[in-house]
Amino acid sequence: MRYKGEERMSRRTKLFLAFVVIVAAGYGASRLFSFSQGIPSEFQDARLRGALISQNIVNLSNDSRTSIEKISELDKKGKFSEALAITLDATKQSEAIRNQAVALADEIGAMTKALSGIQSFEARQAALESIASRLALLNKLISYSNYLSELLQALEGRFKGVPGSAKQVAVLVNQINAEVQAINTFNGQAGQAMDRFDAIVKQ
């Protein structure tokens, strides 16, 4: 059996809880509004898509490291035909990476166009740093692709017994690994710049 006082207390408690929920929801909405205020939706959308594409590029290029190491081992053992076959596969994979690069370039272009709509100067500078790092990543990706094509030619030379091709293979393997490392580095720098961007616009 419930007393009237208890019913009133229960009703008051429910009303108070409902009020708390409404206030909390309103606060959350205001925070969300202040976060998005002054930042074009085009920039935010392109930024998110660009980050996903960049990470995909990083993953694909990192996967190629295993193939490059195996190619180097096979080359040292004189198993040129096997090394050549793996290089052909790696070259095909680089085509997928190039397609990702084209998509990333589009998102970078969209971010750049939307920069003028960002009200905060500091946030705009952080966004520019991120864009610069993404562009540097693309440049390294081009070098990576070119070195991979040269590696394929060098291995074909090894298979045919062309003098000096052994040294060329070793140099190209090191250069490819260096480009993959640079791709990782620039992707990390782009992410750090966007973290600063978020911290600035949330103030």
Stated pTM of the model: 0.75
Say what the pLDDT of residue 149 is.
Answer: 85
CA separation for the pair 52, 15 (Å, rounded) = 44
Per residue in 23-37, is it b (16+ CB within 10 Å) or e — as a string?
eeeeeeeeeeeeeee
Say what the pLDDT of residue 1 is.
Answer: 47
Say what the pLDDT of residue 96 is.
Answer: 81
Residue 30 pLDDT > 60: no
Residue 11 pLDDT > 80: no
User: pLDDT per residue over 76-118, tens digit each?
Assistant: 888 888 888 888 888 777 788 888 899 999 999 999 999 999 9
Residue 46 pLDDT > 90: yes
Residue 69 pLDDT > 70: yes
| Integer CA distances (angstroms), 110 to 12, 50, 59, in order | 52, 10, 23
Domain 41-201: which CATH number of 1.10.3470, 1.20.1630, 3.40.50, 1.20.120 = 1.20.120
Task: State the pLDDT confidence band at 68, using cuts at 50, 70 and 90.
Answer: confident
Task: State the pLDDT confidence band at 133, using cuts at 50, 70 and 90.
Answer: very high
Helix (H, G, I), strand (E, B) or coil at 37: coil
